[in-house]
A and B are shown apart, each in its own frame.
Chain A
Amino acid sequence: MSAVKKLRVPNRLAAVVKTPGGKTVAEAVAAAEVKIDLIKDDCLDAIDAALADMTAASASMKAGTPSRDQIEALYSLSNDVFGIAGVFALNAVGEAAYSLCDLLDKLMVTGSWNWPAVEVHLNGLRVLRALGESVTAAQAEPVLSGLKAVAKRVTVASA
């Protein structure tokens, strides 16, 4: 069994935040929300660009099993969409992107491929993005639960 050493180290961040001045949590959050709003349009454009890239990247995946690098590239784009969408109240788009990541991850782990399952996710993402912020959680729920069910079924089948 290896030896364990316990070290007491100073928390530099703690020392800095305690200096006079600063903001309360509420003030800091409010200021950050104003700042984030400044880049909202750019980020929404980036989501649209990523979705277009995903469509382009998947074009060659219909015919046969893509390489691991191709699946990784699609996974990475979907992960980017997930990371940005939720910041700007596009929660449904974010959840659909997460479901696609989950599906692609499992396909990479098992070394299998299922184009229809991927395609339905891409279509779902496009529909939810087109609806934008206007889509309510109740409206998005059937789409999202459908996508998650597809991902789960494929995962179980390929395990």
Chain B
Amino acid sequence: MSALKKAAAAKARYNLEHAKVLIVEPNQHSMEILCQILNGFGVRAPVRCISSEDAMTQVKKTEFDLIICESDLAEMDGYDFVQWLRRSKIEPNNFTSVIIICGHTQTSKVHKARDCGANFILAKPLTPKIVMDRIVWVAKEGRAFIECESYLGPDRRFHSIGPPPNTEGRRADDLSLEVGDATEPNMSQDDIDALLQPKRVAK
């Protein structure tokens, strides 16, 4: 990040006072930590749930701007809850930004974490800086939602590195792996100069 961008980022203000936030966390102390952090950020009275079942009831009656959900929940875990939410058709909550928080992730759940449809997976321990950085990141992102048989959630290919190796890709805007012949003549140097439009910088 350039010095100019860093300075602008440091001055930017984020208003979370009116944000409707749902927290799903079964551990009393982890819930308290998260609430205190959000309270410090300005969030007023986040809705607290200790299970997926409670959270399912809440998303049916309140429109949330952000959902923060622990992965390790009894019965239906956090990944399954997010997957349910994305397919629920409960608008606008089915498109609400979701941050999953997780401690140690069991080997058997790594793929679930990747495929659940959350906007971000945040590893514990949570510190105010880490949580704020991720909230800002999620608030700034403009990822499209991808819907297919096996996945519904924010586009996971946000680095624009193209389709996976040795596949043609399934999207209309996936470029072909074959680079064909040029269809137009090369640009002249004058054309390129005109694009750059160099200007003298005042000292």
Contact = CB atoms under 8 A, between A and B. Distances in A.
Interface of A: 1-26, 28-36, 38-39, 42-43, 46, 75-76, 78-80, 82-87, 94, 98, 101-102, 105-106, 108-109
Nearest to B155: A6
Q: Is the interface of A mostly helix, strand, loop or mixed?
A: helix
Contact of A12 (B92, B108, B126, B142): B92
B33 A84 contact: yes
A18 B103 CA distance: 31
Contacts of A86: 124-125, 127
B58 interface: no
B106 interface: yes
Size band of the B side of the interface?
A: 35 or more
Interface string B107-131: 1100000000000000011111101
Contact of A21 (B11, B17, B138, B150): B17
B27 A83 contact: yes
Interface in B33-64: 33, 36-42, 63-64
Interface string B43-87: 000000000000000000001111000001000000000000000
A4 B153 CA distance: 12
13 contacts: A10-B92, A11-B141, A13-B66, A13-B135, A17-B15, A17-B139, A23-B13, A23-B14, A24-B11, A35-B40, A43-B32, A78-B104, A82-B125
B88 interface: no
A135 B148 CA distance: 50
Interface of B: 9-19, 27-30, 32-33, 36-42, 63-66, 72, 92, 95-97, 103-104, 106-108, 124-129, 131-133, 135-136, 138-142, 144-150, 155, 170-171
Contact of B33 (A4, A22, A39): A39
B145 A7 contact: yes
A6 B154 CA distance: 9
Contacts of A31: 40-42
A8 B30 CA distance: 34
Contacts of B136: 17, 25
B141 to A, nearest CB: 7
A13 B65 contact: yes
A8 B144 contact: yes
Contacts of B27: 80, 83
A38 B9 CA distance: 29
Contact of B170 (A1, A11, A75, A80): A1
A84 B81 CA distance: 23
A43 B145 contact: no
A102 B136 CA distance: 31
Contacts of A24: 10-14
Contact of A33 (B15, B28, B95, B128): B128
A23 B39 CA distance: 12
Given A20-B15, A25-B9, A25-B12, A36 B129 contact: no
Contacts of A83: 27, 30, 103, 124-126
Given A26-B10, A39-B36, A2 B149 contact: yes
B11 to A, nearest CB: 6
